[in-house]
Amino acid sequence: MKKTLTVWIATVLTLLLVLAIPVIRSATAKPAPDEHPEYHDAVNDLRNARKHLEKALNDGYGHRDRAMRSMM
C-alpha cells in the first residue's frame, strides 16, 4: 500500500512538473521583436517603382518587362 501511494505521488508530481514547464518558459520568454520598418519601406518603394514602370511610355528594349516580372 505504501509503495502504491509513493508511485501515485511521484506520478502526480511528475505530471505537474511537465505541465508547469511551458507556463514557466512562456513567462520568462523574450518579447517579440519590433516590426522592421526597413522592410515596410522597401516594399512600399517596390510598389511605387512598379506603378512608375506600368505608366512608362517606353519599353526600354524589354527592360521594363523584365523589371516588372522580377517584382512579382
Residue 37, in any domain of the structure: no
Q: Which domain holds residue 55?
A: 2-28+42-70
- pTM for the whole structure: 0.47
C-alpha cell at 22: 511551458
DSSP string, 27-56: HSPPPPPPP-HHHHHHHHHHHHHHHHHHH-
Domain count, the chain: 1
Look at residue 63 and tell me if it is in a domain: yes
| pLDDT tens column, 13-71 | 898 888 888 888 877 777 767 778 888 899 899 999 999 988 888 887 888 888 888 87
